[in-house]
């Protein structure tokens, strides 16, 4: 048995996926990370992996307020 951890990757305040980690090849999956987290929760997720891609790139937290808002909402 294993646990699946859904992830929300944040870049520019949006939910994205990078193709092979390339910041120039991203797909936007949603404009509202809080709503995306609520969706995962409705679908039964017990855990959520939030990634600040902007922060990973700069070395400083960039999307911290969005992460805090998301945690409070779910």
Kindly tell me if the per-residue pLDDT of 5 is higher than 90.
yes
- In this prediction, residue 4 carries a pLDDT of 87
Q: For residue range 13-59, what is the model confidence (pLDDT) as tens digits?
A: 999 999 999 999 999 999 999 999 999 999 999 999 999 999 999 99
User: Cβ(6)–Cβ(44) under 8 Å?
Assistant: no
The two structure tokens encoding residue 66: 């969005």
Residues 6+ apart with CB under 8 A from 34: 66, 69, 70, 73
């Amino acid at each position: 048995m294993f646990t699946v951890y859904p992830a929300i990757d944040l870049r520019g305040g949006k939910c994205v996926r990078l193709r092979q980690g390339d910041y120039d090849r991203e797909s936007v999956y949603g404009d509202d990370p809080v709503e995306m987290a609520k969706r995962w929760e409705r679908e039964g997720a017990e855990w959520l992996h939030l990634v600040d891609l902007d922060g990973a790139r700069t070395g400083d937290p960039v999307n911290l307020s969005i992460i805090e808002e998301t945690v409070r909402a779910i």
